[in-house]
Amino acid sequence: MRVPAPRRAHRAPGRPQSGRICIVTTRDDILERLALTASCPWGPIRSSLTAEAVAWADALGDEGLAIDTRLALSEAYRRGNEEWRALAPFAWVLTRHETRPDLFDADRLGATDLTCTRVVPVAADDPGTPAARLRELVSGMEELHRARGGSMRAVHAVRHHVARMLGLEEEAQAELAAWRAAPRDSASE
């Protein structure tokens, strides 16, 4: 499949006519790229096209789009059989949520929360992930969940998984009981 390059090319402003061309990527170019990636099957092609959209969003300086593209990249990695790669873009999103919660409207907060319930267990499955880092991720997930106003059911499910992977059976049993007692919501399934 041939992937189109950004549409707009012009000479960089304030530069002499040296023949150097500066490619300008717009928000629409990035949204078109994300739409294109959605038509690709899960795997390396989709992941690399989405990663390119992340780089474009960063270059453009559009923080909202940088969040959206990283959420898409995390999902592309997770569903494209590269689960371990989903952690880095998602950790960036969590950090951005901590420093700039104003960038997260209800839709973006919901997408971040849903991605969190899928990515944190991937970190728990990696024996190289330190227990302290897992606790930070679960804490960030809980903060997102509370900000969204959702049931704690999904948080308890992830805490249960993390405790099991850390060999903390009593804690795992307590989280399983809390999971069973918590009401269901859209993020808990």
Residue 129: strand pairing partners = none
What is residue 3's DSSP assignment?
A: -
Q: What is the pTM of this model?
A: 0.77
Say what the pLDDT of residue 10 is.
41
pLDDT in tens, 109-156: 889 888 988 888 998 888 888 989 888 888 888 888 887 777 889 899
What residues contact 52, with CB distance under 8 A and at least 6 apart?
33
Angle (CA) 60-141-137 rounded to 5° is: 85
DSSP helix/strand/coil, 2: coil
Nearest residue to 158 (alpha-carbon basis) of 176, 143, 146: 176
pLDDT in tens, 8-30: 444 444 444 555 555 668 999 99
